[in-house]
Structure 1
């Protein structure tokens, strides 16, 4: 059994960024990433919309707000430096009803508070940007962009290996044994001794935390986001990114149009409970995952608070016409025949016992370990900043003495 200074569990974008920054902060240390899949970016990282978020939505002062804003800058710089396809195309958030205008104003003010470059625009200006959108007013966010996060992960992986780190695929963590100064990470392909463990297991992060004896104080509840794609001959209807004003009573952003870096246009997602943590299809079911959700008191409290909106999401999931009607509020001329299904994603949302969704990134300290137990969107945008912050936290109680971090 080999001993490593740092074992990172999870080879998604946050885990790889963490390993990259640990290698930068502790030169000469032994760093390994353990990933159960055969390659990186197989779950949340590779199944999102590829948006480089600006940070406009998040509570001022929160880690999400800080990391998204700085992450939008560092991600674009990283893509430029490494020739990764990206486009700072901007987005418009639009109000289509009178009742949404005060909410749009609140969102604009939040952008100001978060120091995000935002601009109020009228309906005519929106039509100059997006000729097919019908609205009353909008907010223009010029710093929003798009990229390919699997491509970003590929580069993270290359940089980790160039600096002497390792990434082990096809390696599922089954247990973590505390042996005082060392943690033994037991996998289905061997054991790894670690002086320090960082858990970036995404959809399974709460379970891995408990393996290490840490209390995350929350449970992952999986929500599937289902998408449609505009057929190629209709892609001209969307030039950038088009978002509705989010419902303040429901913790998701609503269905929207996203131009992808490959030129395609995705529409969605809705948000419905997944009956499997990696349940990308309606028929996917896992007994343990479902029981964990349905026996968790916080889930039923969430349902009671959001029953009406939740039923709308389920209706949109099973009836394409309802999904399309939501999209027609943004672009009236789209029709059902203009959309074909595309791959879904599952959001690993941490939920606390009182039914509230954890609204910020959640990092829990354990014995010789750190556990990232809530890192949904904008984690991909903010991955460089999150990895840097985790490495700095590790340095606070690591036996190794780090030099000054110098990474962009």
Structure 2
């Protein structure tokens, strides 16, 4: 019989949030025994490893939101970590451009939000925009974000794993969460039983399901959205900086934009296409009939009621499977580009977006529930990668019962 494993803290999920939580706990409680279980063979197999790698600045969000603070602070903290570890970073900055005069007020609203959030942003004119990126196009003004950068998210996650292992944190790979056993134990998909003083659920796409076994997430469910980028394969570099449109601030998606990756690759995207099951990456990969029926049911209700504008969002996103339509959205933000150069689809990612099933609205901020024996990260909302370090500190400070500390 396999012996029961024991830990002070059991973390479910080895994405950026699980890793950041382990890092924060080890920093505060060096003697703590921390165990991370992960259903995949290594870290960052899902959202964290399929992330764009952009370290956002924090000017999109209202000042009273958690992600405004976490993005601002996370931009600085993740940069400090990346530089201290000698990891790759591209300080490529970012501009938000207006396609017409109607979007100028949107630029000014983003500036106001950035200033309220303590983020370095400023309005620039067309001449200064041309100095930053000669190919970027705007109407009269643009917003410049000098602190936006890009990193390699998989490299960052592997560096964190190395640091955690060196500090004594244990990992169990190919051992996902299967079920709860009693008050303090978890059974893994590999048949291991783990008893923990505190269980922390950072399972991303499946966090809501696990939380319900503990009596939480009663009014929430995950609605998956598929994000895909198109890479530019031409020999030239059509843009120097990240170029974004003015977003619809009523939903959490930023629109099709140009991203300059850590290695200088230029890509456009992402899509935000409603997915039909939680790991609906390509074809029938990871197909689940139960998930399909559940998610189709929710998406149908949202579509018919047009909750939060879901109908136009879904129809508009599905059109992005047409490459010419997709590239056409991006050509509006530059003076000239060869759309045919965008001819390689990136590896798809799935955004685990929380839906409030009572209000039929997308949850726009971080959402955490728990008690003295378990904590559940229900909505590690984008830009969770940027936010991961300060978010982990906040979870430990505000949701970890003092009695749970070793």
The TM-score normalised by the length of structure 2 is: 0.93
Q: CA deviation at 1:303?
A: 5.1
**8 Å contact kept, 2:302–2:310:** no
Alpha-carbon spacing, 1:187–1:397, altered in 2? closer, same or farther (3 Å): farther
Contact 1:299 1:351 in 2 (8 A): no
Given the alignment of the two structures, is residue 59 of structure 1 paired with residue 74 of structure 2, yes or no?
Answer: no
Alpha-carbon distance in structure 2 between the residues aligned to 1:247 and 1:18: 31
Does residue 1:145 correspond to 2:149, yes or no? yes
Distance 1:328 1:395 in 2: 48
Task: Identify the match of residue 50 of structure 2 among 47, 50, 55.
Answer: 47
**Runs of 4+ with deviation above 4 angstroms:** 282-285, 300-304
Asked if 1:22 is matched to 2:16, the reply is no
Please name the residue that 2:192 is paired with. Answer: 190
Matching of residue 384 in structure 1 with residue 389 in structure 2: yes
In the alignment, which of 112, 120, 124 is matched to residue 123 of structure 2? 120
Aligned length: 397
Q: Which residue of 2 aligns with 1:78?
A: 81
- The reply to whether residue 94 of structure 1 matches residue 97 of structure 2 is yes
Shift of 1:232: 3.7
Tell me: CA distance 1:257–1:124, structure 2 relative to 1, closer, same or farther (3 Å): same
CA distance in 2, matches of 1:69, 1:337: 36
Q: Which residue of structure 2 lines up, in the alignment, with residue 274 of structure 1?
A: 275
Aligned partners of 1:28 and 1:135: how far apart in 2? 54
Q: CA deviation at 1:249?
A: 4.3
Report the Cα offset of residue 304 of structure 1. Answer: 6.9
- Give the Cα–Cα distance (whole angstroms) in 2 for the partners of residues 87 and 262 of structure 1: 7
Q: Does 1:347 align with 2:354?
A: no
Secondary structure of the 1:125 match is helix
Partner of 1:292: 294
1:368 aligned to 366, 373, 376, which one?
373
SS in 2 for 1:168: strand
1:185, CA displacement in angstroms? 3.7
Shift in CA distance, 276/332, structure 1 to aligned 2, threshold 3 Å: farther
- State the SS of the aligned residue for 2:353: strand
Correspondence 1:137-216 to 2 at 5 A: 137-179=141-183, 182-216=184-218
- Residue 396 (structure 1) aligned with residue 401 (structure 2): yes
Measured in 2, the distance between the counterparts of 1:249 and 1:365 equals 28
Distance between the aligned counterparts of 2:306 and 2:173, measured in 1?
Answer: 36
| Residue 299 (structure 1) shift | 3.7
CA distance in 1, matches of 2:216, 2:251: 30
Question: Aligned partners of 2:361, 2:392: CA distance in 1, in Å?
Answer: 26
- The alpha-carbon distance between structure 1 residues 186 and 46, as it changes in their structure 2 partners (threshold 3 A), is closer
**In structure 1, C-alpha distance between the alignment counterparts of 2:19 and 2:35, rounded to whole Å:** 10
How far apart are the structure 1 equivalents of 2:295 and 2:199? Answer: 27
Asked whether 1:263 is paired with 2:264, we answer: yes
- TM-score where L is the length of structure 1: 0.93
CA distance 1:83–1:101, change in 2 (3 Å): same
Q: Does 1:220 align with 2:227?
A: no
Change (3 A) 1:84 1:398: farther
Report how far residue 394 of structure 1 moved.
4.8
